[in-house]
Amino acid sequence: MDRIGPYRVVRRLGGGAMGEVLEAVDDRLQRPVALKVIAAHLAADPAFRSRFEREARALAALDSPYVVRVHATGEDDGRLWTATALVPDGDLGSWLARHGPLGVDAALEVVEQVAAGLADVHAAGLVHRDVKPGNVLLDRTGGEPRALLGDFGVAGWLAPHQTRTRAGSLGTPAYMAPELHTGGVAGVASDVYALGCVLVAALTGRPPYSGATDYAVARAHVERPVPQLRLPGPRGVAVDRVLRRSLAKRPGARHASAAELRADLLRARALPDSAVGGRGWVAAAVLAALLVGGAGTAYALTRPADPGSPTVAGEPSPTPTPVARDVAVTTLTRALAARMEPPQAACVAEAWVGRAGLQEMAAAGFFDGQWRYVDRPRSAMTPAIRAAATLAALTCADASPSPS
């Protein structure tokens, strides 16, 4: 196989059930390309050929800095082929296998770029259906490293509402959404789920679920809890929140689009990666303080006239009993409910007290002698209490009733 169409084959790069990928050269333009040759049994299927031609036209028209560029497509002696830009630096899967997981910032940047490319793919009316580290190509030729989404060998054409495709459940089990393991249809939601799996792999070096067989992996996707990585600082809290949503078991509970997932990743990147200090910490702390500061005023108008003797800031507080803790969390929840939905207020109150410590907050004057919440200015927050408030706000950002 020396030539396919106008291309001179240099070497084989890889292959699989869908066909093989070759490095080739366009002698007319003196341009290297990656040439994907579709497997003969698929090329002989009239329905596949029809879909291939539609997808090829859409991909050739797609102009995205985060999607591998399709140069041309055609047929040679019954063999269907697609020529794309040759990305020289390998793929994310190979990188992870050689070097291990990426740092948090690098992982968020790579996956955010892939999310941008995936959003462009969906806007073109396509669903990728095989988003995984091996299909994320890395390009360092332009100075700044760039991640590109590639390999549309199992891509499917979306229905007019652009949410799903009727094609079968092709893909890679370790990165397939729960509904695909149980006979469901692929679509935007399953692509979002797969990208959430890629985020886990980028941060840990492995997909979110494993098993001795494909069946065991499928069961894990359907039944096991969403992984929480517990990385440090506000950024780590935001990453876990992104995972809870992108890897939700029900498609309707996930990000509504790849663009929405990208926005979440950008917000996570903007946060500091440590609990105290660090560039950007003041902005994160003010965000949490705005959620909390002043909320107590509303409660102060409704609480009993005799609150008991207040705790003096800076003095030791008596050891709180479980009942005292319940009073503290309940009154703080009521105060926060003036600024946010009740489920979120309850979540923030519980998380803030749990992280900062009830006795420490009382010593700073945030609870009176009967363990009732007392509104205090932001300046009264110690660094530890402020950090706890920020983490609580981030942890509970999506604490709302699940959609039915």
Question: What are the structure tokens assigned to 103, written together?
Answer: 């740092």
Could you give the 3-state DSSP secondary structure of residue 72?
strand
Cα gap 292→65, rounded to integer Å:
41
Q: What is the SS3 string spanning 68-113? A: CCEEEEEEECCEEEEEEECCCCCEHHHHHHHHCCCCHHHHHHHHHH
Cα gap 244→230, rounded to integer Å:
12
Could you give the 3-state DSSP secondary structure of residue 18?
coil
CB 111 within 8 A of CB 251: no
Residue with tokens 């440090």: 232
Residue with tokens 């990385």: 231
The active-site residue out of 2, 45, 91, 130 is: 130
The rounded Cα 354 to chain-centroid distance in angstroms is: 26
Quote the radius of gyration of the chain (alpha carbons, Å): 26
Residue with tokens 């500091």: 272
CA separation, residue 72 to residues 57, 83, 245, 272 (Å): 9, 5, 37, 44
Decide if 214 is catalytic.
no
Query: Closest by alpha carbon to 267, among 289, 287, 295, 293?
Result: 287
Query: Closest by alpha carbon to 243, among 255, 252, 234?
Result: 255
Q: Is 249 annotated as a binding residue?
A: no
Question: What are the structure tokens assigned to 172, written together?
Answer: 């890679």
Query: Closest by alpha carbon to 346, among 385, 310, 395, 302?
Result: 395
Q: Are strands 3-4 and 79-85 parallel, antiparallel or unpaired?
A: unpaired
CB 138 within 8 A of CB 95: yes
Can you say whether residue 181 is alpha, beta or left, with left for phi > 0 and alpha for psi between -120 and 50 degrees?
Answer: alpha
Query: Closest by alpha carbon to 152, among 70, 253, 63?
Result: 70
Query: Closest by alpha carbon to 134, among 83, 171, 108?
Result: 171
Q: Which residues are annotated as a binding site?
A: 36
**What residues are labeled active site?**
130
| Residue ranges of the binding site for ATP | 36
